[in-house]
């Protein structure tokens, strides 16, 4: 059967090359990003790269970059005390005015209003501008199963993981983990020290569910396999970093409430700010053989 002229056939090699591009974009949102430059990262011609990207991602390159920049800005406005101008520069804008205009078009609110309405920090009564931020607007209670007496800030060493990307609702990542486990078993990647981790890159409150990005991962023990051996799994090197660590026991549907407590209740009094690194979850038991109320998850909130 002949493919429609509007159909693009892809293979695992194409997916792998596109994965390099989306990770490159993710790391360089504060820098100029062009179709030609990204095509070079993927080793495609610019014309074919743009068609492939749009077909596989459901967005043009420009739409994808703009959305991620806006979501990064919204994150900073909600969780940090940085000025709007600094946030604009960090998201690749040369002027706060153009940033504010595009932010309002994307979210329906200007940055200052977004910060006032959605920040976990409220403006000090006598302050003006963006920088004076003090107490949280809302302090949700900890959900049942969250061990709030044992929140600790730790430094985790650098780790290497084998991963598969999931795009879509976080609640639908299960099949990706199943594929990860099957491939890892075939490749002999498990050891007594293996940890099962989810790295989540987006906030479900500000990113459409079908656009949420997460990596299903297992840690790798030395000697680390080479790229060819791991494929189609992707190796990632997670740098050393500080995290607030807390244990949650219960169904995965309760994790959102656990994060809300960490951000809005624990964080403002902790003396820490959230670092711009993704959250991680380490799963301590198997959902296939464990009752939902007994599932144990270590939540890792990056801090500085």
Would 53 be classed as within a structural domain? yes
Would 265 be classed as within a structural domain? yes
The CATH number linked to 44 is: 1.10.10
Higher local confidence (pLDDT), 169 or 116:
169
Q: Both 181 and 40 in a single domain?
A: no
- Report the pLDDT value the prediction gives residue 7, as an integer from 0 to 100: 36
Higher local confidence (pLDDT), 222 or 298:
298
pLDDT in tens, 42-54: 887 776 778 778 8
**Cα-based torsion angle of the residue sequence 211, 216, 222, 224 in order, rounded to the nearest 10 degrees:** -50
- Report the pLDDT value the prediction gives residue 11, as an integer from 0 to 100: 45
Residue at a domain's end among 43, 58, 73: 58
pLDDT in tens, 45-88: 776 778 778 877 888 899 999 999 999 999 999 888 899 999 99
Q: Both 152 and 298 in a single domain?
A: yes
- Report the pLDDT value the prediction gives residue 132, as an integer from 0 to 100: 30
As a whole number, mean pLDDT of residues 116-144 equals: 52
Q: Both 292 and 163 in a single domain?
A: yes
- Report the pLDDT value the prediction gives residue 43, as an integer from 0 to 100: 84
As a whole number, mean pLDDT of residues 3-17 equals: 50
State the helix-helix crossing angle for 12-27 and 46-57, rounded to 10 degrees.
Answer: 90
Would 73 be classed as within a structural domain? no
Question: How confident is residue 97, by pLDDT bands cut at 50, 70 and 90?
Answer: very high
Would 77 be classed as within a structural domain? no
Inter-residue contact 42 to 22 (CB < 8 Å)? no
Q: Both 292 and 160 in a single domain?
A: yes
Question: How confident is residue 136, by pLDDT bands cut at 50, 70 and 90?
Answer: very low
- Report the pLDDT value the prediction gives residue 207, as an integer from 0 to 100: 81
Nearest-angstrom CA–CA distance, 189 and 176: 17
Name which of 300, 302, 246, 238 is nearest 273 in CA terms. 302
Which residues, including other chains, have CB under 8 Å from residue 209's CB and lie 6 or more apart?
A: 168, 169
- Report the pLDDT value the prediction gives residue 119, as an integer from 0 to 100: 64
pTM comes to 0.69
Higher local confidence (pLDDT), 303 or 121:
303
Inter-residue contact 126 to 88 (CB < 8 Å)? no
Would 30 be classed as within a structural domain? yes
The CATH number linked to 240 is: 3.20.80.10
- The DSSP result for 268-304, as a single string, is HHHT--B-SS-EEEEE-S-TTTS-GGG-EEEEEEEB-
Question: How confident is residue 129, by pLDDT bands cut at 50, 70 and 90?
Answer: very low
Nearest-angstrom CA–CA distance, 46 and 69: 22
pLDDT in tens, 143-179: 899 998 899 999 999 999 999 999 999 999 999 999 9
Q: How many domains does the chain have?
A: 2
Question: How confident is residue 189, by pLDDT bands cut at 50, 70 and 90?
Answer: very high
Q: Both 48 and 155 in a single domain?
A: no
Would 99 be classed as within a structural domain? no
Residue 40 lies in domain = 12-58
- What is the strand order of the sheet 196-200 is part of? 152-156, 241-249, 296-302, 279-283, 196-200, 213-219, 159-167, 234-238
Would 78 be classed as within a structural domain? no
- Report the pLDDT value the prediction gives residue 263, as an integer from 0 to 100: 83
As a whole number, mean pLDDT of residues 227-250 equals: 95
Would 256 be classed as within a structural domain? yes
């Amino acid at each position: 059967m002949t493919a429609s002229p509007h159909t693009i056939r892809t293979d695992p090699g194409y997916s792998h090359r596109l994965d390099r591009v989306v990770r490159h974009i993710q790391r360089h949102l504060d820098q100029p990003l062009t179709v030609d430059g990204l095509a070079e990262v993927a080793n495609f011609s610019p014309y074919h790269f743009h068609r492939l990207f749009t077909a596989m991602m459901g967005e043009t390159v420009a739409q994808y970059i703009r959305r991620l920049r806006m979501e990064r800005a919204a994150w900073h406005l909600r969780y940090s005390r940085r000025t709007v101008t600094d946030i604009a520069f960090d998201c690749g804008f040369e002027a706060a005015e153009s940033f504010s205009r595009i932010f309002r078009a994307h979210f329906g609110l200007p940055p200052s209003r977004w910060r006032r309405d959605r920040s976990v920090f409220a403006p000090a009564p006598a302050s003006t501008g963006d920088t004076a931020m003090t107490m949280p607007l809302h302090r949700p209670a900890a959900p049942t199963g969250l061990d709030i007496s044992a929140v600790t800030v730790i430094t985790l060493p650098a780790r290497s993981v084998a991963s598969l990307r999931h795009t879509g609702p976080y609640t639908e990542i299960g099949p990706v983990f199943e594929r990860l486990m099957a491939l890892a078993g075939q490749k002999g990647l498990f050891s007594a020290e293996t940890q099962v981790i989810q790295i989540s890159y987006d906030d479900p409150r500000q990113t459409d569910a079908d656009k949420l990005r997460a990596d299903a991962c297992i840690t790798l023990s030395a000697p680390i396999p080479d790229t060819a051996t791991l494929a189609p799994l992707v190796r990632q090197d997670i740098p050393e970093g500080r995290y607030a660590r807390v244990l949650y026991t219960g169904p995965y549907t309760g994790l959102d409430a656990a994060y809300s407590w960490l951000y809005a209740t624990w964080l403002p009094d902790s003396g820490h700010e959230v670092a711009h690194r993704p959250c991680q979850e380490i799963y301590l038991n198997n959902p296939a053989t464990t009752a939902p109320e007994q599932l144990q998850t270590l939540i890792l909130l990056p801090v500085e």
